[in-house]
Structure 1
Amino acid sequence: MAVFKDFQWSQSVRDQGNNVDEFKKINIIYGRNYSGKTTLSRILRALETGSISEKYNSPEFDISFMNGNHVTKKDVGSGQLIRVFNDDFIKDNLRFIIDDEKDINSFAILGEDNAKLEEEIADKEASLGKLEEKSGIIGKLISAEIDYHSAQKAHSDKTAELEQKLRDKANKTGTGIKHNKSFGDANYNVTKIKADIASVSLDSYNPISDEQITTFYELLREEPKDEVIESTEFDLKYDEITEKAKRLIEKKIMASDPIQELLNDAALASWVRSGREKHQGKRDRCAFCGNIIPPNLWNKLDKHFNKESEELRQALDNVLKEITTEQKRTSTLLDIKDSEFYSQFSDKLDLLKEDFSNTFTLYINSLESVKEQVNKRKDDIFFPLTFEEPGSVADDLNVLRSQYEKIREKSNKLTENLSSNQKKARSALRLNEVHTFLEDIHYANECSAIESLQQVVTDAETKKNQIKEDVDFKKAEIKDLKAQLKDESKGAERVNDFLNNYFGHQFLSLKAIEETSGDATTGYRFEVTRNSEKAYHLSEGECSLIAFCYFMAKLEDFETKGNQPIIWIDDPISSLDANHIFFVYSLINSNIVIPEEYSEDGEIKKRERFSQLFISTHNLDFLKYLKRLPGALNKKNSRYLIVTRVDDESTLSLMPRYLKDYVTEFNFLFHQIYKCANTDIESDESHSIFYNFGNNARKFLEAFLFYKFPNAVEKDDKLYRFFGRDALSSALTDRINNEYSHLEGLFERSVMPVDVPEMKSTAKFILDKINEKDPEQYEALLQSIGVEQ
């Protein structure tokens, strides 16, 4: 906010042991003009008024109170009673300072002589209690707020614990769903796992089986397959063959002049028939016995082996050929190649191949049975046989082919839908992973525990709000009673009391003027008067006095008095002389920081009028007075801080020892020279030390040498008297006097970088000379800035 850029309290406000320090009951803040003191006061004023200036560019701040509440820009209504004195307060309430034709906002303080109302107010205030004492209804509210925050923390911690488990499961490196390639979602996060949890929590969700898990993982490993071509139609010849075989085997034929001996011996008949083929028309003698073959033998055999028997024999041979052809053909009818199919069909294909092999064997056996019967008839051609038809398995083979075709179609369909099926498989596997995870962490129990804690939060909030309503109601009652006592004319009188009693301004006063409409009074307005006439052209000092007296008097208005607010006073001594600075301190000391007093029976008669006090100043004399405030030097009760600005950035830190303990600009300037002599040249943070060195050194030496050489001598050069008249001393002191701290006549110095090594050397030279000329004073100066020699 403004000159505070990403200021972090825990990084800046640390003690010598590097421990983070805090504000205390009394807080004194020192800072030069334009260092950022007023910016700090404006944050507190925003909490008082409920709004912040729109001219700030996206301000961000976070203030914590001891009751655990945090306040940011989004909710500046802090619920704390705060009173801030700064420029904004003056502009809002004392418009005459900007325009002397304007008036001052009136305010009412408690009237007098109404003992009954005051007694009733005191009773109700006692019932309401005090924040710092944690008594009464306020004490109950503090306790309820603590319970509420504790319940909130327990709920928040439990929720965060479960949230972390979900976050780890979603995207933790190595084990998170995000990093599992099988689930295929590199952008998986907490939002998505919560959506999956909602899906698996539905009654309609059924976890997948181990078998399905295996199948899905196999599917994810698949690459798209080429289309499996349809198998050829079997067109089995079994029925056709058996029909022919049956007809031929059972066919009856007769020989023209049969040879009985051949009819009786089929083997002999086969031998003769074979020998006939080898001899007739080829030999005159028998190749077996060598005898001459009788001429009539061929005629006799032709009558036995007639045309009808030979045609039957040829028909039987044709059937045998058909059987052999069918056997060879059917062996390749169903060629199942596992590589053409997806792995999920492997089991079915293996079973199908086994069934086909078994059924095909039966089919071959059936054909072999037919073949045997055909050969048997062929061997005994003249005797018909009864055909014994084997069991047909042709239909079974066709059924197996149909099963194969279904698997083939499914495989081809899977190729078409592989991408979408794999997406469904990933989803199913991911949801199963989430379901298993929920069971492992007992998610339902975790949610029930969180719901129970939320109920505790709700109950605690309800109780807190009820007590808050009681507090607000009681405050409203007290406010209403005080309104009956209020007297706006007393406000102006109280301001005048401060002006007259503390500052002696009897000629300058505040006048309460009653506003009327007809016969009715509509209120009061305040007007600044001088010698009973409206005052114009007030000096800056007079404006400052009236403004601060007005603020002090307003602390006694009926909304503030007795409520111990947080008070922030920002630089109240602007344009005031030394006497007035002391009286401002006296006014604060006597009317705000009032030490507690006890009566003989131990009851508190007086108490401090604030719960926490902040006073900022740029004036070292005023800072010196503030150290005298009761409790200001108690380390447990007070805190001293300094606002430091470098270029356009300010920070808040603990006040240096030399400033806190000694409170003189002389010690401050010596410390700046010491830091210049001992600071790292390369550090960017040291820039302001070197840049301001010329002015700091000149001012320090003017003060130091005045007390060293208080006599006034014409054309006396104290620098040369103290440092010596050698060449080095002359050069360095001349640079201090004429260049480092002045630009007049040397404008080029303003556009040239500061010669840092020369600055450092000069600072060391100054320290060495002081140590040489007055070692006791040098040691005392070092001790004043917390440095051991």
Structure 2
Amino acid sequence: MIEKILTIEKFGVFNDFNWNRDSTLQDFKEKNIIYGWNYSGKTTLSRIFCSLRDKAIHIDYPEAKFKLRLENNQEFESENLERYETTVFIFNKEYVDAKLTWDSRTELGAPIAFDVGENTTIRSEIGKLEAKIEFAKLRKTATEPVINIFNEYENWRFKEESKAIRLIISNNTIPFDKGHFKAALNSISKDNLDTYIILENKEIEDLKILSNSTNNFQAFDEYILDLKVADLKLAVTELLKEEPAKDVVIDILESNKDLYSWVKDGLAFEENAETCSFCGNDITTNRITSLNNYFSNASKELRDKISVQRDSINAEIALIKSIEIPKSKNDFTERVRETIDQKINSYKAIKSKYISELNHLLNELTRKEDGNIFNNISISVTEYELKEFEDWISELNEIIRSHNSLISNFETERNSAREKLKKHLIADFLKNENYFVKKEKSQNAQNWKKLYENYVNKKESIKQEKLDSLKTITKGKDELNKFIQKFLNRDDIEIDVTSDDRFILLRKSRPARNLSEGEKTAIAFSYFLVELESLGILEMQKTIVFIDDPISSLDTNHISQVYSLINSYFFRKNVDLDNPAKVVNCFKQLFISTHNFEFFSFLRDSSQLNKRKKITNPTTGEKQEVPNFGFYQIQKIDTDNSVLKALSKVLKRYKSEYIYLFSLIYKYKQEIENGGEVYDILIPNALRRFLEIYTLMKIPNEPDSVENRIAQLVDNVNNYKTLNHFSHFTTFEKATRHDELIMVLPIACNELFSLLELDVKHFESLKKAI
């Protein structure tokens, strides 16, 4: 139980409240009634209790602090709200706003549909869930274009590309479809994609040729050639350097090679003849001997060597000319066809160069014989490179080996080419399509889509639970109706449930087209009681209940009903099974605040609220009764500060707000007349409220205009300008313009008493009453 609010700081109008400053302020009891005019701070006080309920400082006062004294002299500070364990229930304007909502979108003339209690929160939560669900669905939909773009590969792009690849690698002779394409993807990833792509167009074309080739070719033998040009050149070089001895020289023969050959051949032919077959002259023995000596000397030997060398060179030329190379590239597999064609076409020039070099050697030998037989001469230099012919033969053999290898391992080679080309085509397609980027985006989108789907499913499930809760709460309409009818003291009004689990108000079994402020209060307060009832009696007896102005917007006829409802609800018989007739308090501690004097009077005079508590005196051991109720007043002491104080003795004594107001104003006027400097924040409100009640009592047919009523009570309204000025202020303006009003209070009081003096008997009876 809360015994005191020791201090309050920066909590609305309670800027600097200290309980102990007022020695007359008694501790809170089990039952507590608090009276205060509007804007005095009643609702603010209820928000302190809201902070206890919510275990957090009220959102409107983030810098606020307060300190309580609980039973057994325990102190509790607002810094430790999360540790406050007692259940607290509060009914105030905030509760009405939070627990009662109606459909402002209802069509004109249609019945007003509303939610009450937890349904207001649940309906709001359902709305928020629906917004979240819709947002998640939109986000899910936003993922689908990315997924759909990627799914095109699965749906048709792979199929179309597979057709193209099948045509390239086999001209449609082997199966290759979407399934084969996807199987190949198992070995290709974003990281190794480039390793499968062939950059050289030549290699790609070779693979295409081999992939589409057939095995109907013959093998070729490699070419084994012993090219002797180097050795022949070396031999000719040596012969050109020789210088034979000139033992017998016949100059004419030395200078004429043809003549030399003719004579040499003729000598063998005519060696034993006596006459020359050519000219018919006699052939002398000396001539024969001279010629034989000439042809048998060193010069002859060199010429013989040259002749032999010439024969070798000619044999080499004949050999080269006899070599047969492949006639057509078409005799070779497609893989080497282009390169073999190049070799075939280049052979003529290669052979020609080689033979030309051999002919050069022959010419050099002739140059030696013709006039240089006894001279040392150097061989003429040429630019011929034997390596060109050797490389040609080597390359030709390489092509032949490649050709032979292919036809001997044709299936393996072709399959390998197809596989390599296939991987290249797939990888190239994937790269050009940014496939792996799209795949990653699609996977991310699918992950998000799945998250959104799960999110939507969870939220839909929660939403369904909330919808089910709506049905559960609306099932309690009978209990709610019971309290509403007691609250309004009417049997012809009740609430019903619509098909979408909203409430509607029925008046005489017909749907209401609007809700009055009183009906709204009745519905909200009835739900408050239903909600509190749901705790069960035992829990209710552990609960602190704070009720702030439950009669707001109700007329006088209903105020007694509210009092009666509170009285019967919180003080019950048939709870104690051992003593059914005993009245039991259905709360731990009860606080009721009000601005309405009539309602306050009901509460003040309640036998249950005023019932004393029986205790045993710890000293004497005797039974005794002690007060178990407290009466308090909230009062503004300046424009920004209010205090909680003991209830004024006048309020305790008088059963009329009217007399209480007059006592305040009369006391104020006396103090002014006695020369005192009185600054009472209550007087402007008291003056206006008294003027309102007095004029309404005198002129009841003008319920809405104090000014009009004053005009009907006096001869010259101009004599009451200041008083009239007070009648123009609204309740809110009264709260915000006290300083302005206080400046003219003495004049206004004089004018009020002048007005009362017009009714002498009434004025005198008022003074006697106080």
Q: TM-score, normalised by structure 1?
A: 0.40
* Structure whose CA Rg is larger: 2
